[in-house]
Structure 1
Amino acid sequence: MQFGYSELCLAHDPGSRHPESPDRLRAIRERLKKKHGVEYVEADPCDLDRMAAVHERDYLESVREFCADGGGSWDPDTTAVEETWEAIRRSAGLACWAAEAALEGATGRDTPFSIGRPPGHHAVSDNAMGFCFVDNVAVAAQHALDHDAYDVDRVAIIDWDVHHGNGTQDIFYDRGDVFFVSLHEQGLYPGTGDIDETGTGEGEGTTMNVPMPAGTDDRDYLAALEGPITAALTDFDPDLLLISAGFDAHRHDPISRIRLSTEAYALLSDRVRSLAADTDAALAFVLEGGYGLDVLADSVALVHETFDGREPIEPEDEPGDKAESALEDVIDAHDLEITPDEF
């Protein structure tokens, strides 16, 4: 894979006890040293105008000034230092690079994966929260739609971070040109992402939330992706598929109760690759969460290996009853013509 990366993203340092630390990127880079075919690309930073396509300009100006004044705690979870503004610009710029590279034909072993930070999917249009200041994947999606050269009419986003991507949902909730899917742990921070949150106005039906009960595992997540998510996005027929790739649903991540194995991320990557191929969509990945350094690094490395030719190991068990019930509710909420025995 091609990995978008900038050393300047390390300068955003919220403190040694904060889970969203620069060590996340260092761990990924260290693990990828051992892998074949890894390429790093440093993209141009994102300018304020491009970020203002999805965020209120006054809010962005406030963040820039906050950082210029030395930063501090924006809220109890979200902390900045002086260098954070440049890291924000780089992280958003790397997400835009990933979308551009995919739309320009990068696929297979060249599939782009942006590993910028700070992450983005909790940032709403006018506020920071949950470690996030600017919604990188939303900026990238809007950039693709606005860029005449790419002729993009529809973008789909699958967010498999264990936390609901409330910021991305809010930004596109009344839009019909972006289909947002969030596959997350039910009841976890930020407490949003119920099944009945499906969009409004022109966006009615283009938000899909798949809240999974604590304890669900690889087969349950595969059933969600192979069932309602694939059915809905096949009908939507996107030109670009962006993955908000968080790795905190891993069973050894310190802040969640979903029980994914490392192998699950190979399986999920394989399925979204097939979905992109079936819909003729460009495909790119954007890093979100993941706070156990070893399992984060292992999981990202396995995504890379999947695109480098490794075949994922298929699970042998069936989806659990609780997960199957949740997926039936998602199917009903979106009037999909599928049944659980089809996936």
Structure 2
Amino acid sequence: MQFGYSETCLEHDTGSRHPETPDRLRAIRRALAKRHGVDYVESDPVEQARVEAVHDPEYVAEVKRFCADGGGNWDPDTVASAATWDATLASAGLAEWAAREAVSGADGRETPFSLGRPPGHHAVEDDAMGFCFVNNAAVAAQALLDDGEVERVAIFDWDVHHGNGTQDIFYDRGDVFYASFHEDGLYPGTGKVSETGEGEGEGTNLNVPLAAGAGDGDYLYALDETLAPALDQFDPDLLVISAGFDAHRHDPISRMRVSTEGYALLTDRVRDIAQRSNAGLSFVLEGGYGLDTLSDGVATVHETFDGRRPIDPDEGPNEKTELLVEDVRDAFGL
């Protein structure tokens, strides 16, 4: 793979006790250093106009002032420093770079993965929350739509938390399909099966709120039975993966049971979906707060594109997942 990376993203200082720290990127770099075929690219920061295409300009100005004044606690979870705005522009710029690379034909061992921070999928149109200030995946998707490089974009969010910001930004849009697999009841408490979009976006928002304890077999079954057929119908030109690794069984802030090998299997499945639609495929880093599990997760995505074949799980889905998938399929007429 080729990885988008910028030292600027390390300068976003959240303090010594915050789970979203620069050490996340450092751990990923250490893990990737042990692998072959890793290339790093530093893209330009995103233009502010691209940010304002998905976020309210007054909110953007407020965040800039907040950081210029030294930052602090935006809310109890979301922390900024003086360098946060520059890191945010760098992070969104990396996501846009990855999307453009994917649409330009970068695939296989050249598949792009943007390693930016702060993450983005909780940032709504006019507010920061959940460690996020600017919605990186949304900025990337909108930039390519605005430039006429694609007509339809799909975003699949496998972070353990529901990406409420990405959902809200595109909820009434028919040209962006958002799908989220997340732990039911976990922060921020959104992402119900019944939230399927509205207006022109009806039927382009798919939520799979899995029960705590779901593992590899549950995720793969849900993907095969809901996401895959839905995206085959939507036929995107670009598939962006909001890649959080906090559903890992050893992540400190979730109760899910996905293994490192499970992320390889998910990667293999989304690659197949993109190939069937002849869509570009890019990855954008979201959450993941155990340094070992995060770095191993990113490394296994890389190894999957480097030719390693993932091993199928021994166990299939549990009964809760089967019932949930039936509800999702009914909601989408699958």
Match of 1:191 among 189, 208, 215: 189
Provide, for residues 187-230 of structure 1, a one-character-per-residue CA deviation record: whole Å limited to 9, x for no partner: 00000000000000000010000000001100100011111100
For 1:167 and 1:49, locate their aligned partners in 2 and report how far apart those are by CA, in whole Å.
Answer: 19
- 1:98 Cα deviation from its structure 2 partner: 0.2
For 2:151 and 2:222, locate their aligned partners in 1 and report how far apart those are by CA, in whole Å.
Answer: 26
For 1:54 and 1:307, locate their aligned partners in 2 and report how far apart those are by CA, in whole Å.
Answer: 31
Match runs of 1:267-278 below 5 Å: 267-278=265-276
- 1:285 Cα deviation from its structure 2 partner: 0.2
Local SS of the residue matching 1:156? strand
Local SS of the residue matching 1:286? strand
Match runs of 1:129-278 below 5 Å: 129-148=129-148, 150=149, 152-278=150-276
Q: Report what 1:93 is aligned to.
A: 93
For 2:169 and 2:110, locate their aligned partners in 1 and report how far apart those are by CA, in whole Å.
Answer: 29
Unmatched 5+ stretches in structure 2 = none
- 1:47 Cα deviation from its structure 2 partner: 1.4
Local SS of the residue matching 2:54? coil
Match runs of 1:275-286 below 5 Å: 275-286=273-284
- Supply the AA of the counterpart residue of 1:293: L
Q: Report what 1:54 is aligned to.
A: 54
Match runs of 1:287-326 below 5 Å: 287-326=285-324
- Supply the AA of the counterpart residue of 1:216: A
Q: Which ranges of 4 or more aligned residues in structure 1 deviate by more than 6 Å?
A: none
Q: Report what 2:36 is aligned to.
A: 36
Provide, for residues 72-127 of structure 1, a one-character-per-residue CA deviation record: whole Å limited to 9, x for no partner: 00000000000000000000000000000001110000000001000000000000
Local SS of the residue matching 1:209? strand
- Supply the AA of the counterpart residue of 2:260: T
For 2:190 and 2:109, locate their aligned partners in 1 and report how far apart those are by CA, in whole Å.
Answer: 36
Local SS of the residue matching 1:238? coil
- Supply the AA of the counterpart residue of 2:21: S
Match runs of 1:16-35 below 5 Å: 16-35=16-35
Provide, for residues 139-189 of structure 1, a one-character-per-residue CA deviation record: whole Å limited to 9, x for no partner: 0000110113x2x11000000000000000000000000000000000000
Give the number of equivalent residue pairs.
334
For 2:316 and 2:164, locate their aligned partners in 1 and report how far apart those are by CA, in whole Å.
Answer: 30
Provide, for residues 39-92 of structure 1, a one-character-per-residue CA deviation record: whole Å limited to 9, x for no partner: 000000011101000000010010001000000000000000000000000000
- 1:316 Cα deviation from its structure 2 partner: 2.4
For 1:301 and 1:60, locate their aligned partners in 2 and report how far apart those are by CA, in whole Å.
Answer: 34
- 1:319 Cα deviation from its structure 2 partner: 1.0
Local SS of the residue matching 2:239? strand
TM-score, normalised to structure 2's length?
0.99
For 2:257 and 2:321, locate their aligned partners in 1 and report how far apart those are by CA, in whole Å.
Answer: 12
For 1:185 and 1:55, locate their aligned partners in 2 and report how far apart those are by CA, in whole Å.
Answer: 26
Unmatched 5+ stretches in structure 1 = 337-343
Local SS of the residue matching 2:181? strand
For 1:7 and 1:316, locate their aligned partners in 2 and report how far apart those are by CA, in whole Å.
Answer: 41
Identity %: 68
For 1:302 and 1:204, locate their aligned partners in 2 and report how far apart those are by CA, in whole Å.
Answer: 35
TM-score, normalised to structure 1's length?
0.97
For 1:60 and 1:329, locate their aligned partners in 2 and report how far apart those are by CA, in whole Å.
Answer: 38
Q: Report what 2:126 is aligned to.
A: 126
For 2:49 and 2:201, locate their aligned partners in 1 and report how far apart those are by CA, in whole Å.
Answer: 24
For 2:4 and 2:196, locate their aligned partners in 1 and report how far apart those are by CA, in whole Å.
Answer: 32
Q: Report what 1:73 is aligned to.
A: 73
- Supply the AA of the counterpart residue of 1:245: A
For 1:68 and 1:155, locate their aligned partners in 2 and report how far apart those are by CA, in whole Å.
Answer: 34
Local SS of the residue matching 2:281? strand
- Supply the AA of the counterpart residue of 2:241: I
Q: Report what 2:102 is aligned to.
A: 102
